[in-house]
Every structure is written in structure tokens, then in C-alpha cells.
Structure 1
Amino acid sequence: MSLYTPGDNQGSFIIDADISYIYGEPLQQTGGGHSSQSLEVEILVDEVQLKLQHTVKVNSTSNELDFPLHSLAPRSQPYSVTLKATRSTGGRVYTATTQVYRLPERTDGGSVTKVDSLYGGLLVQNKTSSSSKWSSLLPYSFYVSWDGWLEKSLSNVQKFKDQGYNIIHIVPNAGLANQAFNFTELNLFLDKCDEIGLWVMYDMRWTYKNLTSVREQVNMLKTRKSMLLWYTGDEPDGQGDPLNATKITYDLIKSLDPWHPVSLCLNCYNFYYEEYSSGADIILSDVYPIAVNTSWSVVYDTACNTTYGCCGCDDCEGTLDDISVRLDRFTEYQSWIGSAPKPLWGVPMAFGNESFWTRYPTADEEVSMTMLSVNHNAKGIVMWDYPTSVELAQVTSELSRVLADEEVAGFLLGAPTVALRAIGQQNMDVAGWRVGARMLVSILALQTPAWDSSVTIALPEGARGVSKVLWGSGEWRVVGGQLVKKGGRGLETDLVIVEFEGGH
């Protein structure tokens, strides 16, 4: 976890010992190959003389090593951790460092948000009901216009929550002198969020480089029971913000409020990813590929290519696959720079009839963009923007009842995302999450024409049947250990739970 609290008795370190051809230190070949090698690992939490020992296989990942927390007295500063790994055959010693937080109990009524470093999800307590239970939260919501909608009526807060969205990302008003909010009105809004249990993603896009303003806003809001996380740079790469701007603000926020993660949204295919991403715990990706000309800019009347031009979707082809390619790239970038994996969130397009985009997405396209993000390991969805079209408001409200459900979050945030292969029809994207004897399977047919071929999806051994249909046609069946279906409509999305032998 990104942090531990006094009520936690045990934590765990995650050790990745995978082989990289891009980053790291040389690993000499020995008899039997890399897969037969192991590393003797020693972990030291220096200040408390906590010493742990473990053995991990070379080229393995997600090795968990439990450790007791009783010797780490709660405090605001993190503890320094050093790892030393020695090959079982002797020789080179590999080292790594990290930090572990065990924070004091909050006495000001404010919330705490933990980030799961293994699966990328958020864990929260329901402060509205004074619950001490930690629950997984899969954020599903919109960026919401403050001066365009929320500010107009306090009742809009309840209306938004009633649609099924579990967080709200409020977009500040750049037209104000402080480029943020009328804080008198905002605090009434936040009182309502506290009352009804609507989590807040607080946006400082216009002010995050003004450290005096950041300090004032964080200190004003950090004790809110509805505070979920901070949001600093909105497309800092596309704006060409100073490369160290996000990290400077990140360090300030962490010094003021270590209880909540920091997020930002990157717009470019790869423009100083390492520098900008260093200023956040969570990275959002906003790829808008619907009804856009990716080769010629209708706004600037110029060509768009790999080095020049802005067409509203950087290095895009103008297909749904742009979304999955970008998320996969961001995952690769994190490994290339030697960084621990950071959770990624998707920002599906929910607007249109403006600048580069000639129309709104259809309902099917909206669901496809969301689930394609989820299939490629997005652990949160925040669409741009609300209010949206009637059609999109309806379908996203329906989908919120599925994705915000505790059962679904248990899969998506409680297991690794595993890509599954569909045979018999091109352009399908399938992923699964297995917990115990059950697997959640998300199936997307990304082609637009209807299709009549038979499709099979290979499953792990022991699959015995579909136990629940959460979204879609309900026509998938388990036959011979595979999911099977004949025919379907274009842009069809199905979400099902498969039972395995030994399940109930």
C-alpha cells in the first residue's frame, strides 16, 4: 500500500525481479539459463532495525513479502527502506531503495486514500457512515463543469450522485481572479458531498504552478471527509509546462497532506513522459479518437504528422484502438524509466460538435471506450465532460451501476488484468480478472458491422459455465472450457462472470 495507518498490523513489500533489456544492471548468463536462477533478498528498514529475508526467482514479478508494522511507530515522515539482492551463485549485489509510510491516526475527521501498489486500485473508508472498514473503490465519473452546471444549484450534487457516479471531478473556473473557485460556494458544495458520501477529485489545473495558491487550497480542503485525491496538471505536456512543475507541486502537496494521492492527465503520445509523470501517483490518459481528422487539422489548417501539427489526438489513427495503444505505451514507459508501476486511469470522450470533433460519440462508442480502457488496465474512469448528451448521460448512468458495484470492483482491483484471445472474428479485445473460482470477463467487438461468425475465447482450465451477465447480450456459453458465441452486433460489449470447478 502507498501508506499504512495505526489500525494496520501487517504490510507487504512487492519485489519485481524481471529481466529488462532497457533498464537495470547486467545479469550474466549461468548454466541452466536465467529461469533457473534465484536471488537472495534482504530488506532493511534502517531506523527500526527491521530485517527481512526472502528468495525470489530471476525474471519473476509481484513477489509479496509480508512484514510486521508494530515496530514502525506512526509518524508523518516515511521510513527509508533498502533492498539488497544477491544471486544464489554469488557475485554481483543488486540494490534498490523505497519508502514506507505509517501515518498517524487522523484526528481532524479527514479521509484517507490508500493506493494498492500491486493491482493499482484505491482503498477508502466511508467517513460519512463513520465506517472503519477499508473497501476497494473503482472511480467511475466525469469531469464536471463548476461554473457551467454545478454552481447553478446545490441540488445538482445530489442529482449527479443519483445517476450512480461514485466520485465527482470538479473543473475550476479560469474566469475568476483566483482561477479556482468561489470558495464560499465551494464549501457549501463540499458540505453536501460530505453529507451524501460523494468522493471529490479536486482540480488545480489553472493554479498548480502557483505554490502559494496550492498551499492555501490544500490546507483548506485536506480535512474534508469526502476528499479522495488531488489533480494538478491537466495536459501539462500538451501545454509545454516547465518539466519540473508537476514534481515541485507534488512534493509540496505530500508535505501538506500525505493522506491522499496526487493525479494528473497526460495528453501526448510521449512528450517528456518521465518528467511530467514524476509529479503524480496516478496518471490519466485522455485520448479522443471519435469523429476526428487525424491527418489534417481543421482548427489550424495544417497537416498533422509525427513531428508537427495538432489534430486533437496526438499520434492517433482515429480509431478506438488509439485508447488501448496509449495505455499500453504508458505502461511500457513506466518500465523503461525503471519506475514502480503507477495506476493508470482512462478519460473517455463524452463531448462533440466542437473544434476538432464533428459529433458526440454514440452510446455504443462510449461503452467501448470505457471498457477498452478497463481491459488495458485502467483502474479509474473520468469522462470529459458533464453535462453531456442525453444519450450518453443515460448509458453512462446505466454502466455506473455495474462498474461502481463492490462485486465488480473486487475483480478489477483484486486480480491482475489478463489478456484473453478471441478466435473467429477480427478486432475483438478481451480481458479477464480471476479471483478464486470466479473470473470476470470483458469482451469487446470493436468492428462496427454486425458479424455472424462463431467466436471462441480460451479460458483457464476448469471453466464450467457463465454464472452472471452484468452487461450485454447474455449469449456467451462455456463449451469445452471455452467461451463460445455465434454472431453479434457491431461495437457489442459483454461483461460476464465465469465459474470454475470448485466454485459455489
Structure 2
Amino acid sequence: MKTRTFFISLIFVFLFCTIGVARELKVTSRMSYYTHEKTAEIIVYLPEGEGNVSVEGDNTIFDLHSGVNLIPVKAETLHTGDNKRTVTITRKNGIKEDFPVNIIRLTPKTNEVKIDRLTGNLLIDGWQWLPVGFYSSLKDHNYEFLRSEVTQGINLYSPYHTISAENQDARMAYLDLCAQLGIKVNYNVCSLAGSQGVGLNVKATPEEKYKALKEEILRVKDHPALLSYYIADEPDGQGVSPELLKQSYDLIHELDPYHPVSVVIISSLPARRYAGTYDIIMADPYPVPNAPATEAPRMIREIYEQMCYEKAVWLVPQVFGGGEIWTREPSAREVRLMIYGSILAGARGIQGFHRMPDSGSPLLWNGFKEVAVELQQIAPYLYDPNPQPVSSDKDQITACAYRRGDNLLIIAQNTVNNPLPVTLSIPEIINGTAKLIFENRKVQINDGQITDILPPFGTGVYKIALKEQPSAIVSGNLLVNPSFEESVEAGEMTGGSGGAGGKGATLFPDPRIAYDGEISLRLNNPFRNAGASRSLFPIDNESDRTYILSVWARTDARSLAENKKKGEKMTFKLSLNSLGEEEFELTDTWKKYELICPPKAYKRTHHGGASGAITLIGEGTVWFDLAQITPEISISTKRTEDQKGFIVSMESYLKDGEIRYTTDGSEPAASSLLYEKPFEVRSVQTITARVYAGGKAYATTSQTVAAHKALDAKVTYLQPYHPKYSAGGDNAMTDGKFAPLNAQAPLWHGYLGNDIDLVVDLGSIQPVHRISLGFLQSLTAWVMPPKELEVLLSNDGEKYRTAGKIKYGEARQGAGEYDYIRVPFVISKLRSNARYVRIKAKHPKTLPSWYRVQGESWMFIDEVVIE
């Protein structure tokens, strides 16, 4: 016999952490059942002390420590059906106890729903799923409501209804619609399962109900929208015995072992009493205004302490009011407190009671949806089996830390209706920044402490990167936010837009799966060509370049099967405006797809140039990630270690492409230098390169690399640049970086009204032979080059002599309405010595007289190059 240590220790703190203290030793199968898994696990929760454990049929002895221990069981030792095992626990004092455990193994099924009892989370077809939805009535007008609300983060629906022949078509219709939209259903069979809940048919006998329940389970058990069976509405308040519900529970699991059973209770006391009747326990405290909103998380915590590692715990938050005993609705902030407080207390599902879609305050419902979207974006962190406590300097703050890979998520909830300054002590003693992912701001972390202000009943969700995150984004990518990681609020991804025109198609960031980073873009079409799409921000393309739009994508097995059943393929389309488009067929594994667009004239009709787009054609769900647009070749630079030069790198994005280049600005030929590795540049050089691939020579591209005399030199501004266009600060004029041809690029210094008057200090008197500058011209951005440029030199910074003047006058015609032009100004052949170089450029003041509109003009400059 051999001994192994195999455990997860959870830290339990009543006030600050999500997980309350379980009060008793527990031994359960981790998953409600197993299908695809290669290893099953038994949870052994030891409240205190140490010992060891063995499982019947396995000679291995595992050490036990206080907290949660996961004991592995090889799946190949399990047969289909029940696998009863005796688990023997030996305490450190020698006392032995036996515990029966049933490990259920089933054959895989496409609509299976499992409960992970370690975390209380659901897995649907192997995908993690955090349900956030609502109760409501079964009315036809709810169909349009579902189509709109699925785009707002709602993924669960549970209408209350009877089970009768008269409404069978309506029940099937909403199930079918939910399956199309990607919404799951907590299916209400209360009227047949013995509860005296909504829709009770008082005339039916128990035998008739039992028979009808059996027929209904057989009717819906294979439906793709089915999440669970809801069998009892507040049985503890209506005198329904656990024994009566147990009959329905057992029948349901006999007919359909793949879906859990849920009940809702009105207090925490009956949670254990009804434990044999449910897999999901929901609580509906509805406290406002008769009790504080904190009553909801208090009740959830009490239930969780009883049922953790056995059952999933959900909250039914109060999203209604103004009737019966509730004299007002809760505020949106109170709903936020109820939900987030309950998440911190152990809830892993939210099914709000809203009565009717068109009832109540729209702001209340919008507040509920706002939290729904937020929870979808942080859900994978809530699956952390080892959440850690976060202490606070305020008793009114509850907080917890969840780890996922090399990222930490801190959730802090203010439980009072006043703003609170707060200091949080996180588990990692680090310094850096924490990003508030739903507020587009950052706060400092100092020695493991975060100081912030939480609004009344407000939530702070802080994301901390513990390590630098690797990425496969290439240097030549032209798209904003190619991996969909950046957002400024919940449900949003910068760098594009998307939608479906009210047809129920959805676009969301999905943190459960990604090819690059943590987030992917998830599109869902409820039917073919429903309109799920993502438009990408335009690039500044050039007419002689080849552009490659690429993306990684995958679908799921169910979407493939549904399309195949209809004789169709699961496809999507990539397009780059008039430059090209192509349709691709998807698989259920990550694969790279490329649209190659050869050189083609493109008439700009808006700011920027060609816009990429991803359009889902097939019916179902697809994930996209790492969407990039590149030219056929890119040249990039970074500073050398001594900061006096540049390392030049080049990449070809065409298959089997090789790069030939020159360093004197001449046209490269097939016999020119072959690029093999990055190289240093310690002067001002124009690198010109082209790709040769498939027997074809592509267009050339050039980039000036300016390791010039003024690199990192101090610049004094005698006239200030505009703060809106700072290019990063005073050193932007001598940092060796050239701005791209885009008025929005953050590398331009912008002037409005003021002339340019700046002095570059070379640090010592040096030979000066050539001075070059670049200005921008853009009609639609209202940016024009200067009317006149003067360069002056000085040895002492007081007496200046003119080195050269350029009288440019009015901006030249010839550029298109939406074109960007770099206008170079060069003073050469100076043969002079100087320490100080003064640049004076006369502002154009207005748009040129030949332009169709008149107005005040900007002046943009990016770099002063001194040789």
C-alpha cells in the first residue's frame, strides 16, 4: 500500500469570504454524474483535524487535511449507472468511519447538465454555465422580450404555467425559441410534482398528476433548451411534505438522470429538511422594504453553510414591488447588493422574480441586466474552488479574491447606502495596478493594499495581472484590440461594433474559452443569416499593398449537428470592404482562417480606410479570437539596450514568403539582402523591403529608422502644444517614433492657434548637416501643414542664426476628401555646428481657400530628425 497527499484546502472566513463554514464532515461525488471525464473525484470535507482515507476497490491511501480533499477515482473502473463505494476515513486518533458514496456514470448526451458540487457551478455539454435570468408569465408577447433580453446578458428563463393539453403548443414554442436564442429553461412542473405553487390543477388526483408528470418529462427531456426541472414553489411555506416531493424527484431522475431538479424555499431552515428533493436549492427572501437588502446574502450564506459540496445554491432576487406586502420596489442598487452579496456568500445562479416583462421600473430591470452582463464576464473566476479572503478596514464591506491562471479578481461589496472609502488587503503582497474592469479605471496596489471609494450599495470588481500575459498578436497587426481583451464596461469590446437588428442574434465577450488571452468573441445566430456579426474598426490601407484578414474560430458539436441535420454547413464570412470577402466552413476545434486581398484601389468614404467584418452565416454558436489585419510585410523597431540605436525586425505574413531589403531607400530586387534575423541601425536609414512568395514580387514598403543626433534630447516648448494631442509628452519630438497616417494616432503633437516654437538641446556643440520634419495634411480631420518653416541654430541658447527657411503657403490640392498625407519639410546641406536647434513653424490658422468648407485648422507634427 502507498500513501499520497491529494487535497485542496479552502480558507473559510465568515465575514469576508464567499464560502461560509461547513459545519459537518461531508463525503460526496464531486460531479452529479460523469460522462466524458477520465477521472472521477470524491469530495471529502474535513471540518478540522487530519487523517487518511481509502476508497473501496482502490488500495491507495490518501492523506487528509482540514478543509476540502479531492480523492481521484479512475473512470475506467466505473460502469454505466450507479457505482456505490464505501469511503473509509481514519482519524489521527485511530477512529474509523465508513461513508457510502454513489458515483454515477452515464453515456454522453448532447444536452447534459451537470453540477460541480465543489463549486456549485453548472456544466452544460461540458461548458461552464452561470445562469442569470428570470421568472415570468407564459405570454406570447414574452417572445419578443426574450429576443431583446438575450442580447442583454439574460440566459435563463422560467415561466410559471400549468401543464395541460391546452398550452402544450405554447410550451413547446417557448422551449424552441429559447433553444434558438441560447437561453436555458428552468422548466416549471410544479403543478404536477406536488407543490401548491402557481398553476395548481386542484381537480387532478395524485395518480393523474404522477402520470402527467411522467409524460411531460418524457416529452421535454431531450429538448436542447432544458436546464432543470422546477418542481416546488415555496413548499416550506405551503405545507408540502418532503415525502411527496421526493416521489416526483425520484421519478424525474429515473426518467431523465441528465438534468437536475430545483425547488425554491422562503427561509434557510428547511434547506436540510428538503435535501432529498432537489439538486438546486433556490431562495427567495424578497426583503425590500420590510427588511434590508442584506437579508438576501444572509439567507444564502446560511443555506450554503448547510448544503455546500452537496447542492447548488441559487438566489431568486426581488426585481419587483409595489403590491401585496411589498409597498415599493427595491432600487437597482439594492438589487446589485442582493445579487453580488449572494455571489460572495456562495450563490452560483440568479433567477430574478420580475412578475411581468412590462411591469415595474425600467431602471430596476436595467439594473438587474447590468449585473447579469457583469456576472457573465467574470463567471470563470467564480469557479475557483479555493477563493481567498480579502479583509477590509470597514465592517460594512464584504470581499473575496478569486484566482484564474495568472490573474486575480477581487470582488468587494458595499452593504450600506452610503459611499465608503475602503482599504482592501489582498492575498498577494504586490505593488502595481488593479483594473476596475467595469469602470474603465485603475487603482494602485501598494504592498498588497487597494484604496478606493465604493458608492452606496456599490461593487468594486478589480482585476490584477500577477504576471505579464503572453499574446500571439503580430507586430504588423493593424486592428484595435485584436484578441478582444480590452473593454471599458461589461459586455463591450473595444475596436469594433456588432449586432443583429433585433432578431435575437447575440454578440458577447466570452471568458470561458479563448485562443489568445482570456476572452473570445461569441456570436450566436438563432437561425441561419440572423445577423450576428462583428464590424472591425477601419485600417489605413494603401492601394498597392496586399492585406490579410485572419481570425481563429471554432464552433461546438451541437451547432455542427443541427446544421448537418438540416443539410447545411456551419459557416461564417470574412470581408474587407470591396477589397475582398470569403466564406469558410467551421469545425469544433480552433482553426485559423485567412482572407487574402490583393492590391486594389479603394475609395475612402469615411475616416480611415477599409473595414473588416466577421459575419456568422450558420445557425448556432461560434467563438472567434485573435482577429488581425496585416499587410503582406511589416517593419518594426525597438530601441537597443544602450538606447542609442534601433533593432529592426521584419515579418512576412504570406505563406512561404521571403523578404528582400535595402537600407539606402533603393528598390529591393530578388538579389537584394535576404532578411533572416533582426539587425541594428545606429544612423538615419530608410529601410525598403518587399516580399517574394509563390514566384511573385509584392509591393515595396519603406520605413525611416531615425537613430539621429537628437534622439532623446531635451525639448523646450516656447509655444505649448494642445493637451488633446500631446503624443505622450514633451519627449515625443525626439523619441525616434514616427506617427502613422491617421489623425487619431497618439504620436502626433497637435497645435490649435499656436505656432510651433521649440528648442532641441543636443547636449553639446555638434556638426549639424540636415534637419527634417513631417507634418500631416487631412481634410476631414481639419489638419493642415504650416505656411512657413524656419530653422535656427545656436551655440549658447541665446543668440540664434537662421539656418534655413521654407515658405510653403497654402496647403496643396490633390488629396482626396478622406486621405492622409505626410508633408515633409527638410533643411539640408547646413555644414554648421550648434548645440541648440530652434524650430519655428507658422500655423495655417484656417482651412485652405480651395476647400469646400471653411474653419479653423489644426497643425500636427511628429518628430524632429537632426543629422
Which whole-Å CA distance do the structure 1 matches of 2:310 and 2:431 have between them? 34
* CA shift for structure 1 position 469: 2.0
The answer on whether the counterparts of 1:172 and 1:179 sit within 8 Å (CA) in structure 2 is: no
Distance 1:180 1:377, change over 3 A: farther
The answer on whether the counterparts of 1:201 and 1:227 sit within 8 Å (CA) in structure 2 is: yes
Which residue in 2 is equivalent to 1:93?
A: 96
Secondary structure of 1:70's counterpart equals helix
Which whole-Å CA distance do the structure 1 matches of 2:464 and 2:458 have between them? 19
Matched, 1:471 2:443: no
Distance 1:277 1:437, change over 3 A: same
Which residue in 1 is equivalent to 2:351?
A: 382
Which whole-Å CA distance do the structure 2 matches of 1:207 and 1:287 have between them? 25
* CA shift for structure 1 position 18: 2.2
Which whole-Å CA distance do the structure 2 matches of 1:420 and 1:478 have between them? 14
What aligned pairs does 1:284-299 form with structure 2 within 5 A after superposition? 284-292=282-290
The answer on whether the counterparts of 2:137 and 2:159 sit within 8 Å (CA) in structure 1 is: yes
Matched, 1:139 2:131: yes
Partner amino acid for 1:115? Answer: I
The answer on whether the counterparts of 2:86 and 2:100 sit within 8 Å (CA) in structure 1 is: yes
Partner amino acid for 2:39? Answer: Q
User: Higher helix fraction: Structure 1 or Structure 2?
Assistant: 1
The answer on whether the counterparts of 2:297 and 2:342 sit within 8 Å (CA) in structure 1 is: yes
Distance 1:501 1:164, change over 3 A: closer
Which whole-Å CA distance do the structure 2 matches of 1:52 and 1:159 have between them? 56
The answer on whether the counterparts of 1:402 and 1:470 sit within 8 Å (CA) in structure 2 is: no
* CA shift for structure 1 position 290: 1.2
* CA shift for structure 1 position 179: 6.5
Which whole-Å CA distance do the structure 2 matches of 1:418 and 1:180 have between them? 51
* CA shift for structure 1 position 354: 0.4
* CA shift for structure 1 position 246: 2.3
Unaligned ranges ≥5, structure 1? 20-33, 45-49, 126-133, 293-317
Secondary structure of 2:267's counterpart equals coil
1:360-394 deviation per Cα after TM superposition (whole angstroms, max 9, x unaligned): 11111111111111111100111112425211222
Which whole-Å CA distance do the structure 1 matches of 2:166 and 2:141 have between them? 13
Which residue in 2 is equivalent to 1:84?
A: 88
Which whole-Å CA distance do the structure 2 matches of 1:269 and 1:195 have between them? 36
Aligned residues: 423
Which residue in 2 is equivalent to 1:199?
A: 184
Task: Supply the RMSD in Å over aligned alpha carbons.
Answer: 2.3
Which residue in 1 is equivalent to 2:413?
A: 444
What aligned pairs does 1:163-178 form with structure 2 within 5 A after superposition? 163-173=152-162, 178=163
Which whole-Å CA distance do the structure 1 matches of 2:430 and 2:212 have between them? 55
The answer on whether the counterparts of 2:294 and 2:337 sit within 8 Å (CA) in structure 1 is: no
Distance 1:457 1:467, change over 3 A: closer
Which whole-Å CA distance do the structure 2 matches of 1:218 and 1:160 have between them? 27
* CA shift for structure 1 position 467: 4.5
Secondary structure of 1:215's counterpart equals helix
Matched, 1:42 2:54: yes
Secondary structure of 1:491's counterpart equals coil
The answer on whether the counterparts of 1:138 and 1:413 sit within 8 Å (CA) in structure 2 is: no
What aligned pairs does 1:291-370 form with structure 2 within 5 A after superposition? 291-292=289-290, 318-334=291-307, 340-370=309-339
Partner amino acid for 2:272? Answer: E
Partner amino acid for 2:137? Answer: S
1:192-244 deviation per Cα after TM superposition (whole angstroms, max 9, x unaligned): 22222211111122221132222121111000011111111111001111231
* CA shift for structure 1 position 355: 1.0
Secondary structure of 1:404's counterpart equals helix
The answer on whether the counterparts of 2:131 and 2:351 sit within 8 Å (CA) in structure 1 is: yes
Distance 1:164 1:502, change over 3 A: closer
The answer on whether the counterparts of 1:348 and 1:369 sit within 8 Å (CA) in structure 2 is: yes
Secondary structure of 2:286's counterpart equals coil
The answer on whether the counterparts of 1:331 and 1:341 sit within 8 Å (CA) in structure 2 is: no
What aligned pairs does 1:9-408 form with structure 2 within 5 A after superposition? 9-19=38-48, 34=49, 37-39=50-52, 41-44=53-56, 50-58=57-65, 60-73=66-79, 75=80, 77-87=81-91, 90=94, 92-106=95-109, 111-125=111-125, 134-147=126-139, 151-152=140-141, 154-173=143-162, 178=163, 182-209=167-194, 210-270=209-269, 272-292=270-290, 318-334=291-307, 340-385=309-354, 386-387=356-357, 388-405=360-377, 408=378
Which residue in 2 is equivalent to 1:410?
A: 380
Distance 1:158 1:365, change over 3 A: same
* CA shift for structure 1 position 482: 1.0
Distance 1:440 1:426, change over 3 A: same
**Quick one: which of 436, 453, 462 aligns to 1:496?**
462
Which residue in 1 is equivalent to 2:762?
A: none
Partner amino acid for 1:103? Answer: L
Partner amino acid for 1:420? Answer: V
**Quick one: which of 421, 425, 429 aligns to 1:458?**
425
Structure of greater Rg: 2
* CA shift for structure 1 position 146: 1.1
Which whole-Å CA distance do the structure 2 matches of 1:465 and 1:378 have between them? 31
1:428-456 deviation per Cα after TM superposition (whole angstroms, max 9, x unaligned): 221221223322211111221334x4x21
Distance 1:222 1:466, change over 3 A: farther
1:79-116 deviation per Cα after TM superposition (whole angstroms, max 9, x unaligned): 111111224564x321101111110233xxx5101111
* CA shift for structure 1 position 180: 9.0
Distance 1:380 1:441, change over 3 A: same
Which whole-Å CA distance do the structure 2 matches of 1:460 and 1:415 have between them? 15
* More relative contact order, 1 or 2 (CA 8 Å, 6+ apart): 1
Q: Structure 1 residues 381-390 or 346-355, which shifts more?
A: 381-390
If the length of structure 1 is used for normalisation, what is the TM-score?
A: 0.78
1:103-141 deviation per Cα after TM superposition (whole angstroms, max 9, x unaligned): 0233xxx5101111211101112xxxxxxxx22111111
Which residue in 1 is equivalent to 2:449?
A: 482
Distance 1:261 1:488, change over 3 A: closer
Unaligned ranges ≥5, structure 2? 1-30, 195-208, 471-867
The percentage of aligned residue pairs carrying the same residue is 25
The answer on whether the counterparts of 2:117 and 2:311 sit within 8 Å (CA) in structure 1 is: yes
* CA shift for structure 1 position 475: 5.8
The answer on whether the counterparts of 1:464 and 1:499 sit within 8 Å (CA) in structure 2 is: no
Which whole-Å CA distance do the structure 1 matches of 2:100 and 2:351 have between them? 33
If the length of structure 2 is used for normalisation, what is the TM-score?
A: 0.47
